[in-house]
Amino acid sequence: MREEALAVLEADPERRLDPVSRAWRAWLRGEPSLLDGPIDPAFAFPYRTETLPVLDWASRNNDHWAWRYLSALNLWAVGDDREAASIMESLGQAPDFGPFYVARARLLSELRGASPGPDLRRAVSLDPGNRTLHIHLITHLQGSGAWTESSDALRAARARFPGDFNLDLLQARTLINLGRAPAAAAVLEDTRVLPSENSGESHRLYELAHTLAALDALEEGDPQTARTHLHAALEWPESLGQGRPYEPEERMVRFLHGRMDALLGDEGEAAGAFRTVLEATGSLAATPTPRTPAELRGPLDLLALPSLHALDRIAELEAIAGHTSADADLGRFAVRLAGALAWGSEAPWEAARRVAAEFPFLFAGLEGEMLLRALTVPGISGSKQQAGVGGGP
């Protein structure tokens, strides 16, 4: 029904500009001359199996790179990744269309492990007014740990698209990983995130920024500044597009709050903060049968150990230290640290630093480094902190 097909395609004059429709018209008529002229592949979607022979014919009858690009997209869509990659690779630097380079970067990265960086940079250079291309480049740089390059790319993108909250969140993540947590917190203070299913990342960055800034302050002996950041870390600003969940994970912030309160001489608040950590951790800190260290749910459970010490609940630490059957690295660390806290004479943060030196692999990455800093941040020992407080469960 070729005539009927042509009638449908030609009924709408605007559709004649669409390259896929144009290829179909040329193929149905058998007139390669209809392929001549400029081609804009933006928003062309060649994803049907039936279109494969049409685009293959167009590629053989016209030397414009776009026909081969669209053919490659169609092959990729139906699962022929290798042929699609071969075609995209053969196009070299001929295309002057930014999204082509994003597509090729992703395909060659997935198929061959090729670095997407060069293609993503070329995409941005060809079309710097396309916000999405900037985001592809920035997320690649962040995923590669190239935080300084990510900062440079963000500077250019945010200058072009001021007020874009996605770029603001990427900026905050970069600043956090560059060790500039207060600056990240300042960016998030002025960011307005639209509520969405994916907005959880915004509050996580907000909490990270203020928690890391509080750690910086505690390590510098400035508990007052730490207080400001820890109070902020417990908030859920409406401007960040997410409401407070029923039971948020707050143990890191609460633990540091305890250290901060102890340094400021507020023993009652400190003890309350450490009890909150223990309550959120669950049976690891319960008596008379603590959960075995081999059953730790995650690294944050380790914060229960110095919390027990701060409350002078030494018998529970001794019980945990007695679990010699721990077979996981996290469990072995917990046993060693519990023993050092229960029977050692050094300060709890010094004990944590010494034991952690034997398990460096447990504290890799930003989250691991933050946990180690929390365990080793200086504070006040349990006997001094408990004076006049009472350390009951």
| Averaged pLDDT, groups of 10, the chain, 393 residues long | 90 81 93 93 93 97 97 96 97 97 97 95 97 97 96 97 95 97 96 80 95 96 95 94 90 96 94 95 58 73 95 92 74 92 94 95 94 91 43 34
Provide the pLDDT for residue 293.
60
Q: What is the pLDDT of residue 17?
A: 76
- Res 242: pLDDT: 87
Q: What is the pLDDT of residue 196?
A: 77
State the Cα torsion 291-295-297-302 to the nearest 10°: 70
User: pTM of whole model > 0.75?
Assistant: yes
Domain ranges of the chain: 251-393
pLDDT of residue 151: 97
Q: Which two tokens stand for residue 108?
A: 């060659």
Query: Which H, E and C letters describe the chain, residue by residue?
Result: CHHHHHHHHHCCHHHHHCHHHHHHHHHHHCCHHHHCCCCCCCCCCCCCHHHHHHHHHHHHHCCCHHHHHHHHHHHHHCCCHHHHHHHHHHCCCCCCCHHHHHHHHHHHHHHHCCCCHHHHHHHHHHCCCCHHHHHHHHHHHHHCCCHHHHHHHHHHHHHHCCCCHHHHHHHHHHHHHCCCHHHHHHHHHCCCCCCCCCCHHHHHHHHHHHHHHHHHHHHCCCHHHHHHHHHHHCCCCHHHCCCCCCCCCCHHHHHHHHHHHHHCCCHHHHHHHHHHHHHHHCHHHCCCCCCCHHHCCCHHHHHHHHHHHHCCCHHHHHHHHCCCCCCCHHHHHHHHHHHHHHHCCCCHHHHHHHHHCCCHHHHCHHHHHHHHHHHHCCCCCHHHHCCCCCCCC
The pLDDT score that the predictor gives to residue 297 is 83
